[in-house]
Amino acid sequence: MRVILLSAVLLSLSCQAQIKIPTGISKAAGQFLPKSAEALTETDASDGLKEALIQGVKTGSDLLGGGGGFAKSELYRLALPPEVADIEAKINANPLLRAALMPKIQELKEKLNEGAERAASKSFPIFKQAVVGMSVRDAFGILRGGEGSATSYLRNETERPLQEAFRPAVQSALDEVEIARYWEPLTNAINQNKRLLGRTQDIQTDLVAYVNQKATEALFSEIAKEEERIRRDPVRRTSELLRKVFGSLQK
């Protein structure tokens, strides 16, 4: 009986000695275990979103602020302000008014778009400051929110103060292209002929506010496009932080 028990113990020890996890398999398995140093934090997500937005601001500012950024764009080209645009067809239908005013209207359109381009070229530091100063709540939710979610958050949080901060740059840009030389004679002529044009009130458009709104909308649109490129294309992730944050969406 003692011999049998001793044999069983020896057999058990022998089996235990033979069951070993190979070193290579152990190391390979370790590669799939989460490492706290590599985990994406809320701060990482927030900083990554801001960096993506700043990259979008730079891309948009460069594109729209370049030659023809508005004038040559079917998407962003500025038309006349609504008050004037509403009567452009009436002016064009009247031979006398057409001869007198249509050249002024065309010149005004050119200067509006040139002014918007100059304003966009001044936009980067203003928009960047808005991004840097923005408090990001639920960064993970925004990160996983899909197309344009970071840009939408930026717009919801900052659009009004951004336009207030951007207005002096727009005013400066319009002054540089001497917009008043084209705007005031046109509106004066329209106001003098308002009854003929079916108007009862003088034109009182805030031209700076109009260009500010259009330029801001175009910039937000381009920021959203760059955000989407960063989300989809690893090549657009130009820093380690962008690769870490947006690469996490594809794991």
In a domain, 35, yes or no: no
- Cα separation, 124 vs 61, in Å, equals 6
**Count of other CB atoms within 10 angstroms of residue 144:** 12
> Long-range contacts: 18-22, Cβ < 8 Å, 24+?
none
In a domain, 33, yes or no: no
In a domain, 16, yes or no: no
In a domain, 28, yes or no: no
Domain count, the chain: 1
SS3 state at 110: helix
Query: What is the domain extent for residue 202?
Result: 42-250
In a domain, 143, yes or no: yes
Please list, in sequence order, all residues whose beta carbon lies within 8 angstroms of the beta carbon of residue 69, skipping any fewer than 6 positions away: 63, 76, 116, 117, 120
In a domain, 20, yes or no: no
In a domain, 15, yes or no: no
In a domain, 65, yes or no: yes
Per-residue pLDDT of the chain (251 residues; tens, 9 = 90+): 444 444 444 444 444 444 443 444 333 333 433 333 368 999 999 999 999 999 999 999 999 999 899 999 999 999 999 988 888 888 888 898 899 889 999 999 999 999 999 999 999 999 999 999 999 999 999 999 988 999 999 999 999 999 999 999 999 999 999 999 999 999 999 899 888 888 889 998 999 999 999 999 999 999 999 999 999 999 999 999 999 999 998 76
